[in-house]
Amino acid sequence: MIQDIKPRIFNNKFTNKKAEPGDLLLSYKGETVLVKEEKEKLWYPAFADFQDSHPHLKDEAQFLFNIDDINYFLVKQQDLDSVKGWTYVTTGRFRTELKYWRSFAGAVGWQLNRWYQNHHFCSRCGHQTKTSETERMLSCESCGFQTYPVISPCVIVAVYEGDRLLLTKYAGRSYKNFALIAGFVEIGESLEETVQREVMEEVGLKVKNIQFYKSQPWPFTDTILAGFFAELDGDDKIIIDEDELSMGVWMDRDNVPPDESKISLTGEMMEAFRTRRMP
C-alpha cells in the first residue's frame, strides 16, 4: 500500500526546524504539485534550486516531516513554475508513482497543505490563527481555540458469501474501477456499527461475522481507513443507493480483477479474497 515505503522510514514528529538549501520543498497549486519537468518519477525540488530566483523562499517554509534523512517543507509560493525546469503536475501522479516513498511524501504533504489552508482563520471567532512552535497545531490568540490536523475515520467493507465477493462502482466519480463498500463513521457509532449501516444503506444487505482486516492512512481524503470482511446474512438481492453507486454485483472469486496499483487498502482486500488469503 502507498504507506509501505520500507526500508525507508517515515518520521512525522514535529520539530520547529528551519529549512536548509539541501532540504526538499513541496509547493501545491490546487490539485497540482511542483516537480521536475520531463521526469517520469516525482522529482521534488530543493531550496537550492530556487536560491537565485527566490532567495527568501526558505525563510517562511513550514517543516512537515522527514523520510530517512531527507527533510520536507511546505511553501506557500505558487509561481515556482516560472523557473525553468519546473512544472506543476496533477496530484493524480501520486497514484501511479512506482516509488511509494515519493508518492506518499507528496500525498501527506498535500493533506497537511489542505489543513493549513482550511484553518488560516479561527473557526470559533474568525481571527487569524498562528502556527505553534512546539507541536503541529494552529491556535487563535484571540479566543484560545486550538486545532490539530483533521483525520476522519472511514470503513472499507468486503462483503462475501462463500466464493462470491460484492463489488461496486462509484456514481459520479472519476474513479471507474471496481471498489468495495465504504463510508465515514458517524457520531456515536462503533466501527462495526458503521459497517452494518453502510452495507445496508448502499446495497440493502445485512452482514454478520464482521472481522477486522487492516487499517491504512489515506491522505487523499484526510481519512484513516479500517478494513473489514463481513459475511452476507440472509437475502443476497442487491438494492443499490444510486446517489452513491452506479453498480453493485456479486463476482466469483476467480473473476475478481487483480490489484495492479497496489496502493490502496481496497485493492489489497480484493486481492486477499481473490487469492484465497481471506476469509
Task: Give the model's pLDDT for residue 32.
Answer: 97
Q: Is 33 a domain residue?
A: yes
**Last residue of a domain, which of 101, 118, 135?**
118
pLDDT band at residue 175 under the 50/70/90 scheme: confident
Q: What is the pLDDT of residues 47-84, one digit of tens each?
A: 999 999 999 999 999 999 999 999 999 999 999 999 99
Inside any domain, residue 89? yes
> Per-residue pLDDT tens for 191-242?
999 999 999 999 999 999 999 999 999 999 999 999 999 999 999 999 999 9
| Domain match, 72 and 175 both | no
pTM (2 decimals)?
A: 0.93
Q: Which amino acid is at 68?
A: D
Q: Does 246 lie in the same domain as 156? A: yes
* Last-in-domain residue among 118, 133, 164: 118
Based on the fold, state whether residues 27 and 106 are members of the same structural domain: yes
Tell me the pLDDT band of 174, cut-offs 50, 70 and 90: confident
Residue 1 has pLDDT above 90, yes or no: yes
Show the domain range for 146.
Answer: 119-150
**How many domains, the chain?**
3
Residue 37 shares a structural domain with residue 101 = yes
Strand partners, 76: none
Domain match, 144 and 194 both: no
CATH number for the domain spanning 174: value is 3.90.79.10
